[in-house]
Amino acid sequence: MSHPLKNDRYLKACLQQPVDRTPIWMMRQAGRYLPEYRQLRAEAGSFMDLCTNPELACEVTLQPLRRYPLDAAILFSDILTIPDAMGLGLYFTPGEGPAFHKPVRTKADVTALPIPDPNQELKYVTDAVATIRRELKGDVPLIGFSGSPWTLATYMVEGGTTKNFSEVKGMMYSDPAVMHQLLDKLADSIILYLNAQVESGAQALMIFDTWGGVLSPRDYQEFSLRYMQKIVDGLKRDHEGHKIPVTLFTKGGGAWLDIMAVTGCDCLGVDWTTDLADARAKVAGKVALQGNMDPSILYAEDDRIRDEVATILASYGKGSGHVFNLGHGIHQTVDPAKAGVFINSVHQLSKQYHS
């Protein structure tokens, strides 16, 4: 039994329908900046122990909603669940971030990769989605998500985090056919994964293309956007009589918003390097926009935070189709009280833009 949704501002804004104020959620709103998260993670043992336990993943997802009047919840998970389910051996090293025991470097490596069954190898994710949806009791919608094929490929080929992308770009330039084979397999896996999240209760979807911005414009279209397009085409866009909005977010992708807007997605994420006025002109009403405050502003005084919120709201201007967010994830060293100032400022200052 699913509860009727009490607050659907986020879904409406994604679909450019009228709202009474601009909805807000924060990337990484469930996470390390919250003391209650750090305590739970310490008790759980590790980050992956949190992710793979549906009850704990639910608890982490709900923590920021108890603290702040946010307009959406986002599944607590990791973007590397799919490569992990492909058997690459995901592990985390303190201070270094994620890494894989078995990086993907050859055609044989790519050919050997299985396409994970979301109801088997990734059942902990779909179970978490179902648990969160039940516990939200219709308060706000639940966003499901995945990393983009290019972003997942970057981690898989590099074997972890990287500064110069030499392995993944090396494969892309020296053996593009193998890179396309890998990206195609990832797109197929992501379609299954996101559709399973919808079946389990996700009411909106987001694709994080964290590393699309490191590509040249031509390579971005060929190796990143093409596969996000394939995913958008393969997603379940209606479930139980409701539309499922899809947001694409390429960090550093401000120059390509116009070509992203014609993929058939509903909303585009914008980082802080692009003004929303320019972004809105570029997408010409085809999609909603999400963003786009620099997360570092949360280190500022309260008045400076409020001023920045006012500036961004004015930059987008009147009308629906804006989901307020940070331009990337909240930093782990931010004081949670500053996030509260940010969220309350959006609530107070955005009403004038909706009549």
Q: Taking residues 232-259, report their average pLDDT.
A: 97
Decide if pLDDT at 2 tops 80.
no
Decide if pLDDT at 17 tops 80.
yes
**What is the per-residue pLDDT for 212?**
98
Decide if pLDDT at 136 tops 70.
yes
3-state secondary structure of 265: coil
81-95, 123-137, 185-199, range with the lowest pLDDT: 81-95
Catalytic residue list: 28, 32, 41, 78, 155
> Is 71 a known ligand-binding residue?
no
> Is 30 a known ligand-binding residue?
yes
- Please give the domain boundaries of the chain with CATH numbers for all domains: 9-353 (3.20.20.210)
Q: Taking residues 289-315, report their average pLDDT.
A: 98
- What are the backbone angles phi and psi of residue 41, rounded to the nearest 5°? -65, -40
> Is 201 a known ligand-binding residue?
no
Per-residue confidence at 187, pLDDT binned at 50, 70, 90?
Answer: very high
Q: What is the mean pLDDT of the chain?
A: 97
How do residues 307-355 score in pLDDT, each as one tens digit?
Answer: 999 999 999 999 999 999 999 999 999 999 999 999 999 999 999 999 8
> Is 68 a known ligand-binding residue?
no
> Is 210 a known ligand-binding residue?
yes
Give the C-alpha distances (Å, rounded to integers) separating 310 from 14, 88, 173, 326. 20, 45, 44, 14
How do residues 166-179 score in pLDDT, each as one tens digit?
Answer: 999 999 999 999 99
SS (H, E, C) 140-165: CCEEEEEECHHHHHHHHHHCECCCCC
How do residues 65-89 score in pLDDT, each as one tens digit?
Answer: 999 999 999 999 999 999 999 999 9
> Is 111 a known ligand-binding residue?
no
- Residue 9 · residue 15 · CB < 8 Å: no
